[in-house]
Amino acid sequence: MYGVLRNLLFQLPPEQAHTIALNGLDVAHRLGLLSVFSPKIDPLPVNVMGLDFPNPVGLAAGLDKNADHLDALGALGFGFIEVGTVTPLAQPGNPKPRMFRLPEHQAIINRMGFNNEGLEHLLARVDKRKYRGVLGINVGKNKDTPNDQSESDYRKGISAVYSRADYITVNVSSPNTPGLRDLQFGDSLKGLLGAIKDEQLACEKQHGRYVPVAVKIAPDMDDEGIRFVANALRDTGIDGVIATNTTVSRDAVAGHRHAEETGGLSGAPVREASLRVIRGLYAELGDSLPIIGVGGITDGESAAEKIRAGAKLVQVYTGFIYRGPELIRESVEAIRRLK
């Protein structure tokens, strides 16, 4: 059933298809029809960052930027859902077209540019949700905020979402906000992580609860960069790391008609790059800081290999677009066989 719907949606421009699909999910959920599309998933509980997840397969940020579709997505069997990236102020993102399918590679290139309705909208939607599963909220900086003032945007985001989130993700790795990835390196990273931790502890004191914070990093790092990030995360007391975001490399899709489009490449082509980063992080961190693996999960085996590489949880996005809810069940079962 999902394959038929996907083929129809793929006749439309990607961004239009995305909106129609999510609105259709909402309608199906209200009518009680989602069981037609989502197979039953038996629990596979895991505790990570002090949180109890019903299963280790989550939805990555980016699909539901504004938390407009939480209830419908939450009914599909995900072990957790991450919404965002949300910025303090609403922003339109980059000019269209800004999303491109590469079906031959089970991939997508996007240069969305953190298009979202801002913190106020997202929090209002979160407050109205019926979904009570594990909720992550991914925060970023506005495009017009200079890097040397980015700390303020991240503090605003953490402070605003702290009382609603089960965990918070800090996105410093999207390739679609100019200069953002520069925050992953050297003194910029150390300074930002220190500010993030300071804000987290201030919020803990204010709200009387500890909400873990993870940092999402890019796959385009050499071994030295991976070691530096691992040590910086550990030294500042960050609670988790999400590896990885999209890649700017086009090696795996060279020759494709969309290969020269700017933006981040996701899906099957980022599988090996993500694995390399996960393995490098785990070699440095072991079990001292949990890794959430994302990038190139298109079947059960590609989910399980991230767990074998050292990840404690995984997230799907592009593979979910190509495969639908069956990918969730398939991934959970493949991970279950590792136990």
- For CA atoms 109, 115, 120, 124, the dihedral sign is negative
3 state SS for 182-224: HHHCHHHHHHHHHHHHHHHHHHHHHHCCCCCEEEEECCCCCHH
Catalytic residue among 150, 173, 174, 274: 174
Q: Which of 51, 67, 48 is nearest to 59 (CA)?
A: 67
Q: How many CA atoms lie within 13 A of 127 on its CB side?
A: 10
Active-site annotation holds for 174: yes
Q: Taking Cα atoms as reference points, which of 262, 319, 323 lies closest to residue 293?
A: 319
Q: Please report the sign of the dihedral spanned by the C-alpha atoms of residue 38, residue 40, residue 45, residue 50.
A: positive
How far apart are the C-alpha atoms of 177 and 25, rounded to whole Å? Answer: 29
Give the C-alpha separation, 68 to 253, whole Å: 33
With a CB cutoff of 8 Å and minimum separation 6, the contacts of 79 are 44, 46, 53, 54, 55, 56, 57, 58, 133, 134, 313, 332
**Residue indicated by tokens 């530096």:** 228
- DSSP β-bridge partners for residue 134: 80
CA 245, 246, 247, 248 dihedral sign is negative
- Crossing angle (nearest 10°) for helices 326-336 and 300-309: 40
CA atoms within 13 A on the CB side of 38: 19
Residues identified as active-site:
174
